[in-house]
Structure 1
């Protein structure tokens, strides 16, 4: 487990050093996937569905606030709806106007959730949304997820009935508007999902704030179970068919994602928890303190080893002959003294010279 904590610390350190690059990269990827999803499902205007236009819009949105991406996606979706039918465009524009009124008032900082919700539905993992919102955000994030859910079901309905809507003509405009609005606002499956997400998010948010051991794990599992139960009961009561395999599989994925979020945002050591009590002039305070789990990242020490070690062979006889030649050169007019004392002194000088050269080689002083 320590290796996991070390990996977490390293990832957080990397993100801290390059946070702007990661944020802009994720913003570009989010905008690109959102625009591709719109063009793939309701790409009725061929010019707006061009890959070049899609990438260009994503690049522009990368350098703008995140809310600009939501506005750009709305404009792109309305352009496709207008290309399909004037009645569909009118109803979609009114729906977006109502959603923006609630969104800007209650959750203006949750723009990315409006984009992530249809993407999660398209990837068949929508059930992780209430778990993530309950763990990382406030209940006001449900406004953003609800708006994204409505947008997804609108695109799904238009995608399935585009042929009938396109052939209505100007005479059946009111009939077209009534039918489309009725289908959007009376979709039983959509309202079941919105209600289930809201209940699950409140359960997760309430439980993870409790002062109990392993509160986040309890909240994650309870939220997933509540989500499955509410959707199953709603389907049975209203006669809506839902794939229970996808429901259970998506809930398991939501549990795994929730545990990953706990690892990065709420890792504590319950074994070292302490209960504190103190008072002032007006109140008694009972506090439960739980230390966070922190592991210091080990530092690597790199030691260079010189693999190439050259050995120089010293010829002792040659060194002695060279020393004798230097001694034989006359440095003055006086005749050098001869005798056994001189030979001993010469041998000592030769030994000193050999020792000095050997030490210089060992200590790399010649380099």
Structure 2
């Protein structure tokens, strides 16, 4: 355990020294995965789905605020939708605008949460979101989480129904608009997963803030299990097609992520917990104090050999050599008594 704590201290020092470069590297990888998933799933516009476009967008967005990456992803999705069908692009643009209104109202500086939520669903690990968001954030993080989930399911629906949607476009814009809107908004699986994630975030955040030992571990486990139960029960009731293996693996990964986050951001020693009581003129105070766990990284000590020491060593060797030669040649000087 102490070795892990030492590595954590080293990582914290490394991040403190190179945080700008580390964050930009993470932002580049995030953009590369995001734009790559979009182009690989709905690459209807050939020019926009090229590898050069994917890498170029990732590089450009690396040096700009994350909200620009969200906007770029939205424009890229709408461009692919437009190449497939104009009505789909129109309806999707309206839905994105409504989501942005809610996003800017509640979490204007947390644009990366939308991207992370959408990517988690794209990578088939949805239940890492309630655990991570519940531990590290506040209940208001349910807004960007919901926006990311809606974006994912909208893209997934178009991917699975591309042929039917393209043929429906020939029947008229009005009919296509109505049909696509109904199909997207009546997606039972989407609303079920939004409900599971929202409940999970609230449960994790509530348990995490309780004054109990191992609150973060308990919150991670309870939140993941609650999400699993809600998703499984809803899938049975709604006769859905959610993969049970997928959500079980996702819940296990969520618990593992919770343990990692606790180690990195909330490592405490519950065995040294103290309950303190004091008062003032108006109130009694009951405080539970839990010490943090910290181990200082060992510092390497380097011994420098100075030039003076080296010269002394050389002089000693010269003296010994001179005495040896003098003794052999019989010219060693007699020492005065």
User: Normalising to structure 1: TM-score of the pair?
Assistant: 0.84
CA deviations on 1:232-262 (whole Å, 9 max, x unpaired) are 1111111112211111111111100100000
Q: What's the CA shift for 1:167?
A: 2.4
Superposed, which structure 2 residues align to 1:273-292 within 5 Å? 273-292=273-292
In 2 relative to 1, CA 162–285 (structure 1 residues): closer, same or farther, beyond 3 Å? same
Q: Whole-Å Cα distance in 2 between the matches of residues 145 and 321 of structure 1?
A: 92
Aligned to 2:123: 123
Q: What's the CA shift for 1:316?
A: 5.0
User: Are 1:314 and 2:321 an aligned pair?
Assistant: yes
- The worse-fitting range, judged by mean Cα deviation, of 104-113 and 253-262 is 104-113
SS of equivalent residue, structure 1 residue 47: coil
In 2 relative to 1, CA 320–225 (structure 1 residues): closer, same or farther, beyond 3 Å? closer
- The worse-fitting range, judged by mean Cα deviation, of 271-280 and 160-169 is 160-169
Q: Whole-Å Cα distance in 2 between the matches of residues 285 and 116 of structure 1?
A: 40
Q: What's the CA shift for 1:286?
A: 0.8
SS of equivalent residue, structure 2 residue 36: helix
Q: Whole-Å Cα distance in 1 between the matches of residues 287 and 43 of structure 2?
A: 57
User: Are 1:154 and 2:154 an aligned pair?
Assistant: yes
User: Normalising to structure 2: TM-score of the pair?
Assistant: 0.92
Q: What's the CA shift for 1:122?
A: 2.0
Aligned to 1:196: 196
Q: Answer with 1 or 2: which has the greater Rg.
A: 1
SS of equivalent residue, structure 1 residue 126: coil
Aligned to 1:112: 112
Unaligned runs of 5+ in 1: 326-345, 352-367
Q: Whole-Å Cα distance in 2 between the matches of residues 293 and 314 of structure 1?
A: 59
In 2 relative to 1, CA 319–79 (structure 1 residues): closer, same or farther, beyond 3 Å? same
SS of equivalent residue, structure 2 residue 321: coil
Q: Whole-Å Cα distance in 2 between the matches of residues 84 and 187 of structure 1?
A: 21
- The worse-fitting range, judged by mean Cα deviation, of 311-320 and 22-31 is 311-320
- The worse-fitting range, judged by mean Cα deviation, of 275-284 and 255-264 is 275-284
User: Are 1:347 and 2:334 an aligned pair?
Assistant: yes
Q: Is the 8 A contact 2:106 2:143 kept in 1?
A: yes
Compare relative contact order (CA 8 Å, sep 6+) and give the higher one, 1 or 2.
2
Aligned to 1:50: 50
Aligned to 1:252: 252
Q: Whole-Å Cα distance in 2 between the matches of residues 250 and 171 of structure 1?
A: 41
User: Are 1:174 and 2:181 an aligned pair?
Assistant: no
Q: Whole-Å Cα distance in 1 between the matches of residues 219 and 14 of structure 2?
A: 30
Q: Whole-Å Cα distance in 2 between the matches of residues 242 and 54 of structure 1?
A: 30
Superposed, which structure 2 residues align to 1:82-97 within 5 Å? 82-97=82-97
CA deviations on 1:74-125 (whole Å, 9 max, x unpaired) are 1111111111111100110010011000001011122112111221122221
Q: What's the CA shift for 1:196?
A: 0.6
Aligned to 1:5: 5
Unaligned runs of 5+ in 2: 306-312
Q: What's the CA shift for 1:321?
A: 8.4
Aligned to 1:220: 220
Q: Is the 8 A contact 2:87 2:169 kept in 1?
A: no
SS of equivalent residue, structure 1 residue 288: strand
In 2 relative to 1, CA 186–317 (structure 1 residues): closer, same or farther, beyond 3 Å? closer
| Count, aligned residues | 329
- The worse-fitting range, judged by mean Cα deviation, of 203-212 and 275-284 is 275-284
User: Are 1:61 and 2:61 an aligned pair?
Assistant: yes
User: Are 1:22 and 2:11 an aligned pair?
Assistant: no
